[in-house]
Amino acid sequence: MDLELKKAFTEMQMNKIESTKKIRLLDMKTDSLKVSKQRVEVTNRHIAGLAPDTRVYASVGRMYVLNDVPTLTEQLKTNQASYEEMIAQCEKNKDFLIKNLKEQEESLRELVQQKKAETTETNGKPAEYDQQQQRDQRSQQRETGFVALKAHVLANKLETTQWVSRVLSIYFALGYVLPFLYGNPVNAYYKVLMANAATSAIRLHQRLPPFQFSRAYLQQTILEDSFHYLLFSLIFLYVYPMLLIILPVVLFSVLHSTSYSLTLLDTLGQNSWWGARLLISVVEFQTRNILRLAAFCEIFIMPLTVLLVFLGKAGIMTPLVYYQFLVMRYSSRRNPYTRNVFYELRLMADNFANGTSTPPVLRKALHAAIGFISRLAPPTQVQPQQQQQQQ
């Protein structure tokens, strides 16, 4: 391959990877802004029917301020306009990145056509010689790539170990679903949880400062997402195997292992691995759906644990400890999807309960369930602007 063409192709690949990550982050930010805007609209509808002199509480960070309805309505309109402006800016940035990618692909296509024309004009060497030269270059690149991969693994031992443990989680999960891959599906199931515990422990070690026997250190540990899933593995290590339980573990393993697999492929420098890169691209474009599905699984495992207790498949403490896990996921600083999914489920339940075709008995039961679950939610008030910065 021509040196200029190879350089242009490499630059395009790197730019495509970076642009894809930026587009994914913009999509996540846009979704979160839309949810925040929807909350403002729902609040505005709820207070629209109140008298103007009514005093209501409005959350400001972690505090509540007493405001009248007109003042609160004006604040909500300002917030809604701000959200719309930020959403439009995110869409504009996303369109710019997509346009830039298309222009670079078009430039590369023109360069390829130009090089083909030059090769046709010169026609200096036989085709067999060119093919042999290309094979020699690929072999040389492969050897250089494996040397670079070895150096990368030695320099990033913890990251590589996490990648291996995540791949093992996926393999053991497949062994549980397809027993012929592993042999004993029950052993494969519990090894999924053990591999996830190892991954979470390594990640927790990376995220935390040196150990200190203090309350602040313990609080910082509890706030980490890796601690949440270390606790998750310990909770279900002695519970009856269920596919729904390991599903969020597998989803997170797929999501994080593919991103690091792309790093390893870039280190190898073998652009011929188009199949693996295609699968990685598919996973990256489905990141939001994967995170939402994992959040749904986390929520619906809660009633499953209660059912398992009545069936004698889990201990009495399992739902109590899992409730604490769910509280930590709801209050997570780095992953708002569990919180957002709870809010979306509440909106769906409210809309269904208030429907004209809903029987009064069912409506009353739904409102009672919504009130009960809302009382169990932790008193966490996160500003949308802070949430975007944390993402």
pLDDT tens-place string over residues 7-52: 666 666 677 777 777 788 888 888 888 888 888 788 777 777 777 7
d(CA 354, CA 362): 10
Q: How many Å apart are CA 189 and CA 74, to the nearest integer?
A: 54
pLDDT tops 80 at residue 291: yes
Greater confidence (79 vs 65) lies with 79
143: Cβ contacts below 8 Å, ≥ 6 apart: none
* DSSP string for residues in 321-333: HHHHHHHHHHT-S
Write the CATH number of the domain with boundaries 3-115. 1.10.287.370
How far from 130 is each of 116, 119, 133, 299, CA to CA, in Å? 13, 11, 5, 59
- 274's CB contacts (< 8 A; 6+ apart) are none
pLDDT confidence of residue 386: 41
Pairing of strands 55-60, 63-68: antiparallel
Check whether 124 has a pLDDT greater than 80. no
| Other Cβ atoms closer than 10 A to 196 | 27
Listed in sequence order, the residues at least 6 apart from 63 whose beta carbon sits closer than 8 Å to its beta carbon are none
**pLDDT bracket for residue 358 (50, 70, 90):** confident
CA neighbor of 10 nearest in space, from 111, 96, 97 = 111
**pLDDT attached to residue 133:** 52
How far is it between the farthest Cα atoms of the chain? 90
Sequential DSSP letters for 40-61: HHHHHHHHHTS-TT-EEEEEET
- pTM, whole model, 2 decimals? 0.62
Mean of pLDDT values over 106-128: 61
- CA contacts within 13 A on the Cβ side of 28: 24
CA separation (Å) from 386 to 36, 62, 90, 391?
12, 12, 17, 9
Residue extents of the structural domains in the chain = 3-115, 146-290
Whether 252 contacts 229, CB under 8 Å: yes
Quick check: 95 pLDDT over 50?
A: yes
pLDDT at res. 383: 44
Q: Which residue has the higher pLDDT, 349 or 388?
A: 349
35 vs 342: CA distance, rounded Å: 12
State which of 166-170, 257-261, 331-335 shows the largest mean pLDDT. Answer: 166-170
Q: Which residue has the higher pLDDT, 144 or 48?
A: 48
Which pLDDT tens digit goes with each residue over 164-209?
A: 999 999 999 999 999 888 888 999 999 999 999 999 999 999 888 8
Q: Is 343 exposed, middle or buried (0-12, 13-18, 19+ CB in 10 A)?
A: middle
The token duo for 130 is: 């060119």
E strands within the chain? 55-60, 63-68
pLDDT of residue 232: 94
Please tell me the distance from the alpha carbon of residue 241 to that of residue 186, in angstroms, as a whole number: 7
